[in-house]
Amino acid sequence: MSCKISDGNGIQKFFRREKRSGERAVGNVRKDLKTVVNKVETSIRPPWYQRSWSEQNKTDFLAEMKKTT
C-alpha cells in the first residue's frame, strides 16, 4: 500500500479504488454466470431445437428470407 496510515486522503483513495475493483469483479462474475447459464440451457435443449438453429440452418433460413422479400 503506497499511502501512509496518517494520510486520511490516501486511505480514502485506497478504499475507493478497492470498492471500484470489487464492483468490477462482481460485474465480471455476473457476466460469467449468465454465460454459463446460457450454455447449460443450450446443452439441455431438445435435439430438434439445436438442429433447427444450427449455423447452417440459420444461413439457409436467412437466404430463404432474402429470396422472398
> Mean pLDDT of residues grouped by 10 in the chain (69 residues)?
62 85 90 90 73 66 75
| Residue 56 maps to a domain | yes
> What pLDDT is stored for residue 55 in this prediction?
66
> What pLDDT is stored for residue 67 in this prediction?
77
> What pLDDT is stored for residue 4 in this prediction?
54
> What pLDDT is stored for residue 9 in this prediction?
80
| Residue 26 maps to a domain | yes
Range of the domain at 40: 8-68
> What pLDDT is stored for residue 1 in this prediction?
47
Say how many domains are in the chain.
1
- With cell 475493483, the residue in question is 21
> What pLDDT is stored for residue 36 in this prediction?
92
Long-range contacts of residues 47-50, Cβ cutoff 8 Å, at least 24 apart? none
| Residue 16 maps to a domain | yes
